Structures are given as C-alpha cells and as structure tokens.
C-alpha cells in the first residue's frame, strides 16, 4: 500500500533527525537477508548505540541531499539500509563487518564519516580501528609506563639496600 504524503514527510523528518545527530553511518545492501537475521543485526547494533534504518531509497536520497552530504548515486540502485552511529563512529562499521563475515546476504556499499561519503573499502578500514575503550586503555598504559618504570627503579634500590643490610647482619651473627 502506498504511503500518504503525511507519512512520507514524517519518515523524512525522522531521517533528517538521524542524519543531523549522527557521527557516522554505514550504508548496506540488505537484499536476501532473512527477517530473523535483520532482527539479530538490529539487536546487535542497538546494544552498541547504533540505529538501523530501512526506508525508501528516494526518501533517503532526499534526506542526504537536504543535509548537504554528497554521495554516489549508484549505491541506491539496490535496496539499502543505513546504520546510524550517534556516539561511537567506529561501532556500525565494526559490527556490520563482523556480521557480514557470518552472513553473506549483507553487503557494505559505503558510509558517511564527518558528513562526507566514504566507499566500502574505507568502511572496512574504519572497522579495523580499535574501539574508544581500547584507545583509552592504550593511552593510559602509555602514560603509566614511565611511572611504573620509575617505581621499579626506586624499589630496586631499596631491595639492594635491604639485601646489603641483611648480609651484614648475617655476617655479624
């Protein structure tokens, strides 16, 4: 059944809102994906704070053009879905890439990062990046390494002094 103009305008407003709030997005071809697999992907993405949106290509193109994002028209020759990341830029790329390895029915067509279109190869490179938590841990480890080294140096000197005093005590006894 065809959608009314009012329904289409609400869908367009919803898309506009997601595009305005997103940090990144991944565009996928979901044709051939079973409903249970689609729901599984939605649940995985929802846990990571990513919204998975399936809408008419025409509405999606209108929303992207309206927000000033240039894109490759060829990707809209297939039915597409968009995963919008509101918090972590890497999350949709990482999760969809992992899901695509298990389920060949889904194909990554491209994405949006910093309000610019990126191709599927860039999305896969983005998926290879570590998560924010891993990067934070790496930074903390890098900062803490010199401090722990200095503590070990001081502790080594103290151990040496204790060993010398212990040896002296045993020699005197």
Mean pLDDT of 52-69: 88
| Per-residue pLDDT, 129 | 83
- CA–CA distances in Å: residue 107 to residues 9, 25, 111, 131: 28, 14, 12, 22
Mean pLDDT of 111-133: 87
Q: Does 83 have pLDDT greater than 90? A: yes
Q: The whole model's pTM is what?
A: 0.73
pLDDT-wise least confident of 39-48, 86-95, 154-163: 154-163
Give the pLDDT band of residue 97 (cuts 50, 70, 90).
Answer: very high
Across all residues in the chain, what is the average pLDDT?
86
Mean pLDDT of 150-168: 80
Dist. CA 35–CA 33, nearest whole Å = 7
pLDDT in tens, 129-150: 887 778 888 888 888 778 777 7
CA dihedral 106, 93, 45, 68 (to 10 degrees): -100
| Per-residue pLDDT, 25 | 92
| Per-residue pLDDT, 173 | 67
Q: Does 98 have pLDDT greater than 70? A: yes
Give the pLDDT band of residue 2 (cuts 50, 70, 90).
Answer: low
Question: How many CB atoms neighbour CB 115 within 10 A?
Answer: 15
Mean pLDDT of 49-75: 88
Q: Looking at the chain, list the stretches that DSSP marks H as alpha helix, in order from N- to C-terminal side.
A: 5-21, 35-47, 57-66, 91-102, 120-128, 132-172
Q: Does 4 have pLDDT greater than 90? A: no
Q: Does 1 have pLDDT greater than 60? A: no
**What is the percent of the chain where pLDDT is above 90?**
21
């Amino acid at each position: 059944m065809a959608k009314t103009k009012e329904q289409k305008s609400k869908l367009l407003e919803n898309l506009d809102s997601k595009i305005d709030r997103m940090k990144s997005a991944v565009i996928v071809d979901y044709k051939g994906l079973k409903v249970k697999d689609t729901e599984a992907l939605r649940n995985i993405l929802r846990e990571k704070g990513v919204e998975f949106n399936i809408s008419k290509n025409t509405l999606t193109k209108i929303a992207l053009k309206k927000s000033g994002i240039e894109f490759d028209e060829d990707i809209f020759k297939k039915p597409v879905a968009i995963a919008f990341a509101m918090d972590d830029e890497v999350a949709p790329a990482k999760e969809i890439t992992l899901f695509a390895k298990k389920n060949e029915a889904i194909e990554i067509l491209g994405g949006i990062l910093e309000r610019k279109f990126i191709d599927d190869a860039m999305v896969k490179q983005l998926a290879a990046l570590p998560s924010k938590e891993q990067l934070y841990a790496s930074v903390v480890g890098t900062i803490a390494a010199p401090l722990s080294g200095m503590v070990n140096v001081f502790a080594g000197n103290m151990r040496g002094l204790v060993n010398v005093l212990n040896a002296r005590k045993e020699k005197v006894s």
